Amino acid sequence: VWRILPEEGARAWAPAWMVGKLVHRAIELERMPDAPGFEAWLEASARSLGLSDARMLKDAVRRAQRLLDRLAASPLWTEIQAAEQRMHEAPYAYLDPDGDASVRGTIDLVYRLGERWTLVDFKTDRAKDRAHMEAIIREKGYDRQVARYVQAMETLLDVTPRAFICFLDVAGRVTVWAWQGNGDS
Band the pLDDT of 11: cuts 50, 70, 90.
Answer: low
| Whole-structure pTM value | 0.89
At 78-136, the pLDDT tens digits run: 999 999 999 999 999 999 888 888 999 999 999 999 999 999 999 999 999 999 999 99
Band the pLDDT of 179: cuts 50, 70, 90.
Answer: very high
For the beta sheet containing 85-95, the strands, ordered from the edge strand earlier in sequence to the opposite edge, are 85-95, 102-113, 116-123, 162-170, 173-178
Sign of the alpha-carbon dihedral angle for 130, 131, 136, 137: positive
Residues 6+ apart with CB under 8 A from 60: 14, 18, 19, 22, 42, 46, 51
User: Strand pairing partners for 107?
Assistant: 90
Domain covering 78-178, topology: Lambda Exonuclease; Chain A (3.90.320)
3-state secondary structure of 3: coil
At 36-55, the pLDDT tens digits run: 999 999 999 999 998 888 99
Where in the chain are the domains?
Answer: 16-72, 78-178
User: What is the distance between the alpha carbons of residues 80 and 32, in angstroms, rounded to a whole number?
Assistant: 13
